[in-house]
Amino acid sequence: MRGRRLSSIIASVTAHAVLMAGAVIMLTPFLWMELTSLKPPQEIFRLGLHILPREWGGAENYGRVFSDTPMLRFLLNGIVVCGAIVILQILIAVPAAYALAKIPFRGRGLFFALILVSLLVPIQVPSLFLYLGFARAGLLDSYASLVLPFIISAFAIFLLRQHFLQFPQEVVEAARLDKFGEFEIAWRIVLPSARPAIGAFAVFSMVAHWNDLYWPLVVVTDPEMATPPLGVVFFRNQESGSDFGALMAAATVISAPLIIAFLAAQKTFVRGLTSIR
Amino acid sequence: MTALSAQKRAEARIGLVLASPAILLLVLLVVLPVLATAGFSLTDYRLGTQTIGFAGLDNYGTLWNDPRFWQSVGNTALYTLIVVPGSVGLGLGAALLIEGRGWLRPFYRVAYFLPVASTFIAMAIVWEFLMNPSVGLFNQILFALGLPGINFFGNAQTALFSMAAIGIWELTGFNMVLFMAGLAAIPRDLYDACAVDGGESGWDRFRMVTWPMLGPTTFFVAIITMIRAVRVFEVAAVITQGRPEGATEVLLYSIYVQAFQYFNIGYAAALIVVFLVVTALIALVQARFGGGREASR
């Protein structure tokens, strides 16, 4: 009995040691980003391993981020673009998903097949044609070009349809007898039951579009229109690897919104990002 | 005509009305662009030239004979072959170890999941700094230990592996959470039955219950990771530009360069078609063997 307890203690200590080592590796980039953003250049370039800042360079580094780049504009662009995408995705997906789940109409099967096929098409596939279209319309470097390609989400429609299918048909029929219009039934009666799914989708979509670099890189060249990821890339190329303190400060600023949101609402976040199946 | 069938017809019309914005947008933003891209891939279209001529399968022939294309395909495949087992294996290991670890469990969960909730390109730039050959943390540690430094992204032998390390770091926590959900769904009494059958050690429990019960989860996680891995782009586009010697040239980066830097529309379209076929094949494997769970766009 004694031996078994000893071996289970050893197992537990080993597990914690391995997990702790893993956690250190996972967190090192974040810690190093923070620490470097607080160091003055001479400390970053001084050879030898020293972890904590001895002198304070934080004010200068963060100051440089906001004076050398339109950082607030990047963040605003990110909020406007992500917000517009998520709201439009939901506005367009709800009626479509409701129709797919609750109303038999001609062409419904074909529409659903189209949704399933669209799930297989990542943005990089239509990007070439869409770029040519936006270029011809003179819409490069605009919110329209950043938002429009994403307002239709086959995934949102698919997800919501699954939820609406579970909504009791009798309630829908009763509402129809009470002369509720279909649009009203969709928004006021069926939708509230799918609120958790919509929340999860909103988190998923927000994170995906806040992080997206590919499409902004294609349609935006004007720093004023850059989203946060593109903004930090512009800043990196402009600094060309000489001012690591300010670069790490910029990385901190643009990652902060998502990280704060994650730490504040871990459950919602994890659910939103992993219930995608 | 009865009132009922009139009502049904009105209903059907409303169904179409409700779905029509989505249908219209799908056609405009997905169907049309995909068909047009397939069409472009059969032409010699380049932005800036006035003429556009039918070229048959010439672009695909050029592709086939282009060593850079094969290097790009090979790099993407190698990257996927490292990142999928790496992040799936580590995600599973972390999930198994975290099970029943009491008060530190929430800390581990947050620490491992943080890369998933962060802004990837910002963290990629941090990794580039960590891997800086002279002032980066990793080489400072190696120097302090009296070892030679590694030129992570500067050396064709290590560049793709450095990129894959970042990919594994990014995806492990995500896979861990999926495995934790899979583990929570395994009925407790299977472990009791295993003990009755003489399965005493942790390894027995894993081999006889956990691993077989996690089969579908593992398959699903591997496919999702594969879909993400073949879309690797950011590090190649921002940090290495495919260098050195094309060692980090990956499929999406080749597409980006051909389409939006050289404006070789016909050739880029052919690359995109190849990319679509690859991702669609992975998704079809999932649909065929994975019980119909859908991956997201």
Q: Do A22 and B90 touch (CB under 8 A)?
A: yes
Q: Do A244 and B30 touch (CB under 8 A)?
A: no
- The predicted structure's pLDDT at residue B3: 63
- The predicted structure's pLDDT at residue B294: 41
Looking at the fold, whether A154 and A42 belong to one and the same domain comes out as: no
Q: Do A129 and B181 touch (CB under 8 A)?
A: no
Give the residue extent of every domain in chain B.
Answer: 59-289
**Is residue A158 assigned to a domain?**
yes
pLDDT value at B126 more than 90: yes
Question: In the predicted model, what is the mean pLDDT of residues A100-110?
Answer: 92
- The predicted structure's pLDDT at residue B297: 33
Q: Do B237 and A213 touch (CB under 8 A)?
A: yes
Looking at the fold, whether A106 and A140 belong to one and the same domain comes out as: yes
- The predicted structure's pLDDT at residue B296: 36
Structural domain range at position A59: 2-64
Q: Which of B19, B108, B259 sits opposite A96 (nearest CB)?
A: B19
Looking at the fold, whether A234 and A102 belong to one and the same domain comes out as: yes
Q: Which of B40, B104, B117 sits opposite A258 (nearest CB)?
A: B117
Boundary-marking domain end, from A42, A64, A86: A64
- The predicted structure's pLDDT at residue B292: 44
Question: Given pLDDT bands bounded at 50, 70 and 90, which one contains residue A2?
Answer: low
Looking at the fold, whether A19 and A79 belong to one and the same domain comes out as: no
Looking at per-residue pLDDT, the higher value among B14 and B295 belongs to: B14
A-B contacts at Cβ under 8 angstroms: 287
Question: In the predicted model, what is the mean pLDDT of residues B177-204?
Answer: 86
Boundary-marking domain end, from A30, A45, A64: A64
Share of chain B above pLDDT 70, in %: 96
Looking at the fold, whether A88 and A57 belong to one and the same domain comes out as: no
- The predicted structure's pLDDT at residue A156: 94
Chain B residues touching A29 at Cβ < 8 A:
115, 123, 126-127, 130, 169
**Is residue A245 assigned to a domain?**
no
The CATH number of the domain holding residue A116 is 1.10.3720.10
**Is residue A252 assigned to a domain?**
no
pTM reported for the whole predicted model: 0.91
For the domain spanning B59-289, the CATH number is 1.10.3720.10
If you write DSSP's letter for every residue of chain A in order, what string do you get?
-HHHHHHHHHHHHHHHHHHHHHHHHHHHHHHHHHHHHTS-HHHHHS-S---S-SS--HHHHHHHHHHHS-HHHHHHHHHHHHHHHHHHHHHHHHHHHHHHHH---TTHHHHHHHHHHHTT--THHHHHHHHHHHHHTT-TTSHHHHHGGGS--HHHHHHHHHHHHTS-HHHHHHHHHTT--HHHIIIIIIGGGGHHHHHHHHHHHHHHHHH--HHHHHH--SGGG--HHHHHHHHHHHHTTS-HHHHHHHHHHHHHHHHHHHHHSHHHHHHHHH---
Question: Given pLDDT bands bounded at 50, 70 and 90, which one contains residue B93?
Answer: very high
- The predicted structure's pLDDT at residue A1: 52
- The predicted structure's pLDDT at residue B123: 97
Question: Given pLDDT bands bounded at 50, 70 and 90, which one contains residue A28?
Answer: very high
Looking at the fold, whether A89 and A200 belong to one and the same domain comes out as: yes
Report the gap between the CA of A167 and the closest CA in chain B (Å): 17
pLDDT value at A240 more than 70: no
Looking at the fold, whether A208 and A96 belong to one and the same domain comes out as: yes
**Is residue A151 assigned to a domain?**
yes
Looking at the fold, whether A58 and A90 belong to one and the same domain comes out as: no
Q: Which of A49, A99, A126 sits opposite B140 (nearest CB)?
A: A49
pLDDT value at B53 more than 90: no
**Is residue A203 assigned to a domain?**
yes
Q: Do A47 and B135 touch (CB under 8 A)?
A: yes
Alpha helices in B231-297 (DSSP H): 234, 251-260, 265-289
Looking at the fold, whether A28 and A87 belong to one and the same domain comes out as: no
Mean pLDDT of chain B: 90
Looking at the fold, whether A119 and A151 belong to one and the same domain comes out as: yes
Boundary-marking domain end, from A35, A64, A93: A64
- The predicted structure's pLDDT at residue A10: 87
Mean pLDDT of chain A: 91
A228 close to A43: Cβ distance less than 8 angstroms: no
Structure tokens, A72: 């607030």
- The predicted structure's pLDDT at residue B4: 64
Looking at the fold, whether A44 and A95 belong to one and the same domain comes out as: no
Looking at the fold, whether A77 and A209 belong to one and the same domain comes out as: yes
Q: Do B26 and A129 touch (CB under 8 A)?
A: no
pLDDT value at B291 more than 70: no
Q: What chain B residue is nearest to A110 in terms of C-alpha separation?
A: B23
Chain B residues touching A221 at Cβ < 8 A:
none
Provide the ipTM.
0.91
- The predicted structure's pLDDT at residue B293: 46
Q: Considering its fold, how many domains does chain A have in total?
A: 2
- The predicted structure's pLDDT at residue B56: 85
If you write DSSP's letter for every residue of A72-117 in order, what string do you get?
HHHHHHHHHHHHHHHHHHHHHHHHHHHHHHH---TTHHHHHHHHHH
pLDDT value at B2 more than 50: yes
Closest CA to A107 of B1, B27, B295: B27
Chain B residues touching A131 at Cβ < 8 A:
259-260
Chain B residues touching A229 at Cβ < 8 A:
119-122
Chain B residues touching A124 at Cβ < 8 A:
231, 252, 255, 272, 275
**Is residue A223 assigned to a domain?**
yes
